[in-house]
Amino acid sequence: MDIKLILINRSNDTNNSEIVIFQKNLSTDFDEMAVAWQVIRYLGQGDNHPFVYPMATTIAASDSWGNYTPQLPAENGQLFSMVLTPSGDELKLQGPASSASEVQCRNDLARGAISAGLYKSGKLLFIKTGIAPGQKAVFSFKPTLFIGVVSQVEEGEVMNSAILSDINTELSLLGIQSADIVMTGGGAGPQATPFEFTLENVVMG
């Protein structure tokens, strides 16, 4: 069941800030950066922005020759691999992953590194680059969203550690069918307060 969310701006923001929404890959080393899954712009005071967090996830890969595979449906517990076929490089579902809580993608090419990305709503959620032959990328995430106010961030781009260190609001979507994400705080001058995001009008599934 997809989760229906509405971001509502009840803040004192006067800077026309951008709001970024992303997830973190649990199965990574800490030097891996997060991707800006959704960036919401021009959300005026009192405005709302509906969006959906889909349960469905897709996976795609690219090779070192600049070729991109189609997106394939991906679920936890599945292993995909990039293989050389008579027509060229292809991403294929190989069977069960070594962990039921992970989506895994292995580079089974004889040469050339690949990148593997997971997508939700067709938008890049995670990416792992530089997967050498014989290596695999591992994706695992819990149903939580990170949200914060940023500037100069593009959807689908990897965010740097300075941006990530500023964002510590984590909203759990576990068991939720729909909810409002209410943004408060902001403002200018000495009265300004940090931005806050809270879930309201939560409907459990």
Domain co-membership, 121 together with 61? yes
Domain co-membership, 77 together with 98? yes
Domain co-membership, 63 together with 124? yes
| Structure confidence by residue, pLDDT tens digits, 87-140 | 999 999 999 999 999 999 999 999 999 999 999 999 999 999 999 999 999 999
pLDDT bucket at 14, cuts 50 / 70 / 90: confident
pLDDT at 70 over 80: yes
Domain co-membership, 84 together with 28? no
Domain co-membership, 61 together with 160? no
Domain co-membership, 42 together with 67? no
pTM: 0.93
Which CATH number does the domain housing residue 178 bear? 2.60.40
What integer pLDDT is reported at residue 162 of this predicted model? 85
pLDDT bucket at 31, cuts 50 / 70 / 90: low
Question: Which of these, 16, 59, 2, 26, lies nearest to 179 by C-alpha position?
Answer: 2
Domain co-membership, 82 together with 152? no
Distances (CA, A) of 159 to 17, 88, 167: 16, 32, 11
State the average pLDDT over residues 157-184.
93
Domain co-membership, 24 together with 42? yes
User: From the CB of residue 122, how many other CB atoms can be counted at a distance below 10 Å?
Assistant: 8
- Find the domain containing 124 and state its range: 57-139
Domain co-membership, 93 together with 107? yes
Domain co-membership, 38 together with 19? yes
State the average pLDDT over residues 58-83.
97
Q: Number of folded domains in the chain?
A: 2
What integer pLDDT is reported at residue 32 of this predicted model? 65
Domain co-membership, 50 together with 64? no
